[in-house]
Each structure stands twice: as structure tokens, then as C-alpha cells.
Amino acid sequence: MDLTYTPEEEEFRARLREWLAGVLPTLPPKPPPEDWPARRAYDLGWQRMLYDAGYAGLHWPVDAGGRGATPTQHLIFLEETERAGAPYVGAGFVGLLHAGPTIAAEGTAEQRARWLPPILRGEQVWCQGFSEPDAGSDLAALRTRARRDGDHYVVSGSKIWTSHAEVADWCELLVRTDPSAPKHRGITWLAMPMDAPGITVRPLKTLAGSAEFAEVFLDEVRVPVGHRVGAENDGWRVTMVTLSFERGTAFVGEVVSCRRVLGELAREARKNGRWDDPALRRRLGRLNAEFRALWRLTQWNVSEAERSGGVPGAGGSVFKLRYSHARQELYDTAADILGPEALDLDRPWVLDRLSSLSYTIAAGTSQIQRNIVAERILGLPKGR
Amino acid sequence: MTRSVHFQLTDDQRALRDGVRALLEGRFGRQALRIALDTPGLDRTLWRELGEAGFFALTLPEAEGGVGLGLPEAVLAFEQAGRVLLPGPLVATHLAADARVPGAATGEAVVTAVQGGLVEWLEEADVVRGDASGAVPLRSVDPLTPLHRVPDGGGRDRLADLPADPLAVLLTAAEQLGSASRTCELAVQHARTREQFGRPVGAFQAVKHLCAGMLERVGTARAAVYAAAVTADPLDIAAARLLADEAALHGARDCLQVHGGMGFTWESDVHLHLKRAWVRARRSGDVTQSEEMLAGDLLGDPPGAVV
Ligand SMILES: Cc1cc2nc3c(=O)[nH]c(=O)nc-3n(C[C@H](O)[C@H](O)[C@H](O)COP(=O)(O)OP(=O)(O)OC[C@H]3O[C@@H](n4cnc5c(N)ncnc54)[C@H](O)[C@@H]3O)c2cc1C
């Protein structure tokens, strides 16, 4: 067991720091949260800077246009960019973290050549059309239907909670191609261009007041058969290959930023006198222990992935469970420090507190994570 | 060549962990545990065997007859001790061996210490570290840890308010971690085999989620304890202690719940894990001290500074 980095890794970190110090002051001002086209431009602009500097797709395989970095280098990258206050992936999220890696793992050479470079260069935005009104946790119950018509699929149905749908160029779409097969076996993965006729996007307002996701209605949308990744009816497996990858490093930057927020909270408490309350100090002390542990757990999981050749272990679900709860506790504590000001949307941390509420729901609810831990890791009998 | 796996057990560490586990399970398995329960006193033969196996001398340099390993190895060994509920002042004796107290390293001497206002195994001890004068026995809640209370003239604990030795806290956290992972296993075993309503109770989601919670706490505590073993940083140790205590205490409670009425019996081992976890949590001193230290760190106050 070792927590030191190799000289190569330290050199990688030093070069990255130097680059960040030079480039971050040249960034344009952050656009307002409501202005989606401006946010898209900002997020993609940052991605382009990463690309030009050789940091795009850092942990993607080289033959997919990535840099083939080790999980530890990826960890360092996420840690340092967050420390330096660099922009978050934002609208690039699905392309860089899910659709892209899926195409890299399962797509044909032609599909990779077509879709991956624009993701890495920050030219195209992807969204994820998985959830449906009647298929959330039970994703495999999805009903959006795709019928074959010559060299096209004709897709009808509706998707919901689709993040970034409004500004996306492409949608990684799960559709049902064989309604008579068992539910996991009749699903297909398609890349759907968002400007195809028959698509209607209706933004949904989140409880934080912004329109971060949308409903997407599909009425006889024609998608070429060549846009299918993997075999017909094999879409469930194609998707799961990548879903498990998400959980290894998806929250690295966030843990770093939570630790920074924790320090800010302590200073605020000292300033407004609440620090004198021992119960509050104890709570902050516990949160410090919690986020220190989550950082160590991240390092442990990353090292494990490295050892096993990139395959994330069971640690991902354990991490997600623990982290999503800790993040909510962090911002609840922030509210206690703010006192009456915790009800003022213009105060820092108040919007973060609202958005933290999604963490125990999105990307697999805490209940579903516990089912996964109990059944797949502990081997308890599958429930119904 | 880039050697790039950091925060995982090395092959040697795995071998050590497995070796200690095999030794302890062989020498202090379930049957031995139940016998110890009915036999007052410390098994001095076992104590010497532990000494011969190097259990107390893991971090003592080889030149002085020790095993010459590091803190991570000691933590792995103490984790195994926690799993099997190995009795005796293990932590105090290990620390005494480090401090060259004669006989401690070899297991010839049983060394205890005043910790958290209490002394474990006072009557069995050949050496007592700290001031145990006037100690009075109490009827220990843990049948495998005799306890004495150290009174204070002013009505306050003489030593309870002093910060505990970080190394003792870390090794205790390692024991808590071992106990927590054992209660998780016990709960899962029971949930898979005990049937009600025509199915294993582990098929019920309420039970499943209790077990998942145990693993979640064990997994997080393990990362914290191992990291603290690598850095030996007092703040990392304080954090590890909080997480390991939580994993052990909460885990034993949930394990008891999963066992139903069986969990409330003397016959089951679950209560032994819970009671020992209570003793260990006390040994590391007041929880508030660890919490205050970690709170102070957020303001950049030096470790140990109590606000
Ligand atoms: C901010 C945000 C962004 C999102 N972005 C996207 C996106 O871009 N693309 C996309 O496809 N989806 C997205 N989602 C959808 C997300 O994946 C689903 O909300 C999630 O999987 C839960 O599904 P559901 O909302 O239908 O809840 P349900 O599945 O209806 O769950 C309702 C409640 O029942 C519980 N429950 C359900 N099944 C079980 C079970 N078997 N055992 C125990 N409890 C159970 C759940 O834990 C929950 O508490 C997003 C969601 C959020 C909040």
C-alpha cells in the first residue's frame, strides 16, 4: 500500500498545473445558467482547449483517439483541474463519459471515426435517451419502439429526464426492437441525430428552477440502420459495458470540490459566530472525516481498476451510495451555518443544496445501488 | 518501468494478512472463543504463541528481534485480531514492544495501559503503563475484557481527557474494521440460510439493505484505516477512527437485527462483537476530541489544537 505517485505521474501533474495556470485566466466569463446556447459554447470551448493541449479523451484508448492514460493519471487530471477551478465537462458529459466510451468499446471502425473525433474536439454534444415515463429504475422495461423499414429504423415513443436534450446534436437512444423477447434481450442502442424530423423536445424545469433536462417525444423518427452500435437486440449489454465504468472516477472532481466547500463552511461559521456551537463543530469534523475517507476510497478504487486492467470493481456502487448521502449532508450543514440566509437563493450553497437532492436519484437511486451491492457483491438472493 | 499500482495491498501484504488470518482462525476459532468465554483469565500459552509468531513485534526492527515491518502490516494483523475477537490487551502490548518494554515483544509479558479512564486486563498484566493507582474493578459489559475504572480526585477522569496515543487509536480502528467486516459476513451468512415465508430472509429488501449498508460502511472505513496506516498522519488517524467506530458499532447492531431472536442470545457471537466494539470505542478516548481535531483542521489549525 502506497499513496505516493511515481516520478512520471508527478511530472504529468506538474505539466498539467503549469498549463492550467496559463490557460485559465484566458477563459471567457461564465455564462448565466439560463442561457443554454451560451453554456454549450462555453463548455465546448473548454473542451477544445483541452483537445489542443493534448488532454482530451485522456483515459480513452489510443485507437479511439484518446491518450491511453492510466486510471491514476486520469485521477490526477480530475483532481488538478478541479483544484485549479477549471470548468466542468458540462454539456460534454454524455459524449465524453458515456456515449463516447460506448462507441469506443462497441462501435465499428467507421462509427468511431465518425463520432469520436467531434466529441473530443468539442464540436458535438450528446444526450442520453434511456429513461422513459414508465421505465426509470426498471430501465429494461422501456417501450420506445423501433421498427425496421428497409435500411432505417422507424422510432416512436417518449423519453424523459434527458439532460442537455435542448442543445444536443446526438442522442444515445435505447429502443425496443423485439417486443416478444424477454425484456433485456429486445433492446437496441442507436445514435439518433437530434435534428431528425419527428423529434419534439419539451424542457422540464427542475426543483432548482432551471431547465437541466427535458422530455423528448419521438414520432416516426427515421434512424439509419448504420447508426446502430452493436447487434440488434444486444443494446442492453452494449450499454452496461460502459455504465459500470462511469462509477469509478465520475465523482473525483466533486469530492475535491466538496472538501474545498467544507473549508469555506468552517470559515463562514467562524465569521458568523456559529463556530462557537460545539454540535456544529462536531458535525463539520465528521464531514471532514467523511470526505477524507471518500477521497481515500476513490484512490483505492482507482488503484484497483489499474490492477485489474481498467475494469472497475464493486467499489463504484459503495462509493456512489456513500458519496451521494455525504454531499446532501454537506449542504444541509451549510444551511445550518447560513441560518435564515439558507432560504435566500442568492446566497452561495443554497442552489447547491437543491441540486444535491438529485444525487440519491440520478444514475441509479440509492435503493437500486443497495440492491446491486446486496445481490451482486454480497450474493444475497435476487428479489422481485 | 512505471510501477503504478499504489493504494492496494502488495502481494507480501496479502500473504501476511492471509497468514495471520489462518493462524488466528486455527488457534482462536469459534470453539476457542466460546471456551474463553467460560474460562476466566487470559490464556498465557496463546499469548506466548502470539509473541513467538511476531504479533507484538511487527513494527520492531529486525535487529532488535522484531519482524521489521511497517504500520500497514500491523494494521492488517490487528484487523484479523478484530475479526476473531482475540482477547487481551493486544494494542497496549504491541505499543509496549515498540517502546522496548522487556518481555512485551516475545509475549512473555502482558502489558496493559490506562486508556480513556479505563484499564483492560489489569489483574493479568505484568506491566501497567500509565497511572493506575486506586483503580477499581467494574463488572465489564464485555465478558472477554475485564475492566478497571481509574478514579480521579476531582471527580474527573485523570486521563480520559488527554488525547489518546495516535498509534493506539489506529490499531484499535483496525480491530474495529475487522469486527465490522466479520459482522457483515455473519449477517449475510444468516440472511442466506435462515428461511421465513418460504424464502431466505435475505431475499427481503429490508434485510438486503441492512446488509448493503454494512458493506458500504466497511468499504469506506477500510479505505480510511489503510490510508491512515500509510500516512500515520494524526488527522487521517482521527478520521479512520470515526469511520471504523461507526462501521463496527452500527454493523454489530444491524447484524443483531438480521439475526432476529437468535441475535439476542448469549449463544450467538453477535453480542460479543457489539460489546467489544463498545470497549474499543472507549479506548480511543472521547469521540468529541477526534471530531474537534478534524473540525480545527478545516480552519487550518494545527492538529491537536483543541478549539
Ligand atoms: C438530475 C437528473 C438527471 C437525469 N438525467 C438523465 C439522462 O440524461 N438520461 C436518462 O435517460 N435519464 C436521466 N435521469 C433519470 C434517472 O436515471 C432516473 O430518475 C432514475 O433511474 C430513477 O428512475 P425514476 O425517476 O423513474 O424513479 P422510479 O424508478 O420510479 O423510483 C421511484 C422510487 O422507487 C424506488 N424503487 C424503484 N425500484 C425499486 C426497487 N427495485 N427496489 C427498491 N426501491 C425501488 C426508487 O429508489 C425511488 O425511491 C436523470 C435524473 C435526474 C434526477
Average pLDDT over residues B77-99: 97
Residue A384 lies in a domain: no
Q: What is the pLDDT of residue B300?
A: 86
Whether B303 has a pLDDT exceeding 70, the answer reads: no
Taking CA atoms only, the protein residue closest to ligand 1 atom 24 is: A136
Residue B103 lies in a domain: no
B299 → closest Cβ in A270, A304, A373: A270
Atom of ligand 1 nearest to the CA of A137: 29
A197 and A112, same domain (yes or no): no
Tell me phi and psi for residue A35, to 5 degrees: -90, 90
Q: Rounded to a whole number, what is the distance in Å from the CA of A208 to chain B's nearest CA?
A: 29
Cα–Cα distance measured from residue B164 to residue B234, given in angstroms and rounded to the nearest whole number:
11
Cα–Cα distance measured from residue A46 to residue A95, given in angstroms and rounded to the nearest whole number:
14
Residue A360 lies in a domain: yes
Total domains present in chain A: 3
Question: Ligand 1 center to residue A214 CA distance, Å?
Answer: 14
Residue B183 lies in a domain: yes
Q: What is the pLDDT of residues B234-251, one digit of tens each?
A: 999 999 999 999 999 999
Written as nine digits, the cell of A238 is: 452494449
Q: What is the pLDDT of residue B161?
A: 47
A246 given a catalytic annotation: yes
Cα–Cα distance measured from residue A383 to residue A375, given in angstroms and rounded to the nearest whole number:
9
Q: Rounded to a whole number, what is the distance in Å from the CA of A246 to chain B's nearest CA?
A: 18
Cα–Cα distance measured from residue A76 to residue A382, given in angstroms and rounded to the nearest whole number:
38
A306 → closest Cβ in B5, B221, B239: B5
Q: Rounded to a whole number, what is the distance in Å from the CA of A290 to chain B's nearest CA?
A: 7
Domain assignment of residue B224, given as a range: 166-298
Residue A313 lies in a domain: yes
Strand partners, B58: none
Q: What CATH number has the domain bearing residue B246?
A: 1.20.140.10
Burial of A157 (0-12, 13-18, 19+ CB in 10 A): buried
Question: Ligand 1 center to residue B155 CA distance, Å?
Answer: 56
Total domains present in chain B: 1
Q: CB atoms < 10 A from the CB of A308, how many?
A: 13
Confirm or reject: Cβ of A365 under 6 Å from ligand 1: yes
Nearest by Cα to B274 from B289, B283, B264: B264
Residue A219 lies in a domain: yes
Residue A244 lies in a domain: no
Written as nine digits, the cell of A249 is: 472516477
A1 → closest Cβ in B230, B242, B243: B230
More confident residue, B5 or B9: B9
Residue A287 lies in a domain: yes
A229 and A278, same domain (yes or no): no
Confirm or reject: Cβ of A239 under 6 Å from ligand 1: no
Chain B residue with CA closest to A384: the answer is B203
Q: What is the pLDDT of residue A304?
A: 87
Cα–Cα distance measured from residue B207 to residue A380, given in angstroms and rounded to the nearest whole number:
10
Q: What is the DSSP string of B91-103?
A: HHHHHHHHTT-TT
B4 → closest Cβ in A265, A306, A378: A306
For chain A, the distance separating the N- and C-terminal CA atoms, rounded to the nearest angstrom, is 40
Residue B290 lies in a domain: yes
Whether B304 has a pLDDT exceeding 80, the answer reads: no
Average pLDDT over residues B18-27: 97
Q: What is the pLDDT of residues B164-203, one digit of tens each?
A: 899 999 999 999 999 999 999 999 999 999 999 999 999 9
Q: What CATH number has the domain bearing residue A98?
A: 1.10.540.10
Whether residue B202 and residue A292 make contact (CB cut-off 8 A), yes or no, is: no
Inform me whether the C-beta atom of residue A260 falls under 8 Å from chain B C-beta atoms: no
Q: What CATH number has the domain bearing residue A258?
A: 1.20.140.10
Residue B181 lies in a domain: yes
Whether residue A1 and residue B299 make contact (CB cut-off 8 A), yes or no, is: no
Domain assignment of residue A97, given as a range: 7-120
Q: What residue type is assigned to position A317 of the chain?
A: S
Whether B156 has a pLDDT exceeding 50, the answer reads: no
Residues 10-69 of B with CB under 8 A from A: 10, 13
A203 and A258, same domain (yes or no): no
A221 and A288, same domain (yes or no): no
Contact by Cβ (8 Å): B236, B228: yes
Whether residue B203 and residue A265 make contact (CB cut-off 8 A), yes or no, is: no
Whether B306 has a pLDDT exceeding 60, the answer reads: no
Residue for grid cell 483541452: A50
Chosen domain end from A178, A205, A233: A233
Q: Can you state the angle between helices A252-272 and A315-338, rounded to 10 degrees? A: 20
Question: Ligand 1 center to residue A366 CA distance, Å?
Answer: 10
A259 and A353, same domain (yes or no): yes
Chosen domain end from A120, A137, A157: A120
Chosen domain end from A74, A92, A120: A120
DSSP H helices, chain A, are 7-23, 36-52, 71-83, 93-94, 100-106, 109-120, 235-249, 252-272, 278-307, 315-338, 350-356, 366-372
Inform me whether the C-beta atom of residue B86 falls under 8 Å from chain A C-beta atoms: no
Cα–Cα distance measured from residue B39 to residue B51, given in angstroms and rounded to the nearest whole number:
21
Dihedral sign from CA coordinates of B143, B145, B148, B152: negative
Whether B10 has a pLDDT exceeding 90, the answer reads: yes
Percent of chain B with pLDDT over 90: 89
Cα–Cα distance measured from residue A168 to residue A353, given in angstroms and rounded to the nearest whole number:
27
Residue A241 lies in a domain: no
Q: What CATH number has the domain bearing residue A187?
A: 2.40.110.10
Residue B203 lies in a domain: yes
Residue for grid cell 443494446: A235
Chain A residue with CA closest to B199: the answer is A381
A113 and A185, same domain (yes or no): no
**How do the pLDDT tens digits run along chain A, 384 residues long?**
999 999 999 999 999 999 999 999 999 999 988 899 999 999 999 999 999 999 999 989 999 999 999 889 999 999 999 999 999 999 999 999 999 999 999 999 999 999 999 999 999 999 999 999 999 999 999 999 999 999 999 999 999 999 999 999 999 999 999 999 999 999 999 999 999 999 999 999 999 988 889 999 999 999 999 999 999 999 999 998 876 655 567 788 999 999 999 999 999 999 999 999 999 999 999 999 999 999 999 999 888 888 876 555 567 889 999 999 999 999 999 999 999 999 999 999 999 999 999 999 998 999 999 999 999 999 999 976
Q: Of A9, A215, A246, A304, which one is the catalytic site residue?
A: A246
Q: What is the DSSP string of B133-188?
A: TT-EEE--SSTT--EEE---TTSS-SSTTSPPPHHHHHHHHHHHHHHHHHHHHHHH
A193 and A295, same domain (yes or no): no
Residue A2 lies in a domain: no
A27 and A90, same domain (yes or no): yes
Q: What is the pLDDT of residue B160?
A: 47
For chain B, the distance separating the N- and C-terminal CA atoms, rounded to the nearest angstrom, is 48
Contact by Cβ (8 Å): A383, B211: no
More confident residue, A314 or B51: B51
